[in-house]
Amino acid sequence: MHIRSVIGLQALNMAIAQEIYEYSKALDKTGVDNADSDEIKKRIVDSIFVAYGAKDAVPIKLMQSALLPSQGPHNSPIYFSGQEASVETSAFINGSMTRYLDYNDTYLSKEALHPSDNIPPILSLSYALGSKGADAIKAIKVAYQVVCSLSDAVSIRDRGWDHVTYISISSAAGLGSLMGLENGRFVHALNLAINNNISLRQTRAGELSMWKGCTAANASRNSIFAALLAQKGLTGPAPIFEGEMGFFKQVSGAFDLNLAEDRVRKTMIKNYPVEYHAMSGVEAALELKGKVTGAIKEINVETFSVANKIIVKDPEKLRPKTKETADHSLPYIIAYSLLYGRPKLDSYEDKYLSDVRILDLIDKMKFSVSQKFDSMYPEYLPIKIKVTASESSAESEVVVPKGHFKNPYSWDELRAKGVSIMGDESKVDGIIKVGKELDKRDVSDMFEVVSNVDS
Q: How far is CA 1 from the centre of its chain?
A: 42
User: Does residue 405 form part of some domain?
Assistant: no
390-439 pLDDT per residue, tens: 999 999 999 999 999 999 999 999 999 999 999 999 999 999 999 999 99
User: Does residue 324 form part of some domain?
Assistant: yes
> What is the full DSSP assignment across 189-241?
HHHHHHHT-PPBGGGGSSS--GGGGTHHHHHHHHHHHHHHHHHTT----SSTT
User: Which residue among 383, 398, 413 closes a domain?
Assistant: 398
> 28 with 93, same domain?
yes
User: Does residue 452 form part of some domain?
Assistant: no
The radius of gyration of the chain's CA atoms, rounded to the nearest angstrom, is: 22
Judged by phi (left if over 0) then psi (alpha if -120 to 50, else beta), residue 31 lies in left
252-302 pLDDT per residue, tens: 999 999 999 999 999 999 999 999 999 999 999 999 999 999 999 999 999
CA dist 31 to 25, 26, 131, Å? 10, 8, 16
> 356 with 255, same domain?
no
> 314 with 248, same domain?
no
| Mean pLDDT on 192-201 | 96
Q: Is the pLDDT of residue 120 over 60?
A: yes
CA distance 365 to 106: 27
**The pTM of the whole model exceeds 0.75:** yes
Q: How many domains does the chain have?
A: 2
> 341 with 234, same domain?
no
| Mean pLDDT on 187-210 | 94
> 260 with 283, same domain?
no
Q: Is the pLDDT of residue 11 over 90?
A: no
> What is the full DSSP assignment across 68-111?
-S---SSEEEPTTTS-EEEHHHHHHHHHHHHHHTS-S-BB-SSS
User: Does residue 355 form part of some domain?
Assistant: yes
CA distance 10 to 112: 33
Residue 116, number of CB atoms within 10 A of its CB: 29
Residue 206, number of CB atoms within 10 A of its CB: 11
Band the pLDDT of 443: cuts 50, 70, 90: very high
- The residue range of the domain holding 29 is 3-266
Residue 127, number of CB atoms within 10 A of its CB: 25
Output phi, psi for 384, to 5 deg.
-130, 130
On whether the CB atoms of residues 301 and 395 are closer than 8 A, the answer is no
On whether the CB atoms of residues 183 and 21 are closer than 8 A, the answer is yes
161-182 pLDDT per residue, tens: 999 999 999 999 999 999 999 9
Report strand pairing: 84-86 vs 75-77. Answer: antiparallel
> 19 with 135, same domain?
yes
> 21 with 165, same domain?
yes
> 215 with 133, same domain?
yes
CATH of the domain at 41: 1.10.4100.10
CATH of the domain at 336: 3.30.1330.120
> 24 with 135, same domain?
yes
> 255 with 134, same domain?
yes
Q: What's the pLDDT score for residue 455?
A: 66
Q: Cis peptide leading into 378, omega within 30 of 0? A: yes
User: Which residue among 398, 415, 443 closes a domain?
Assistant: 398
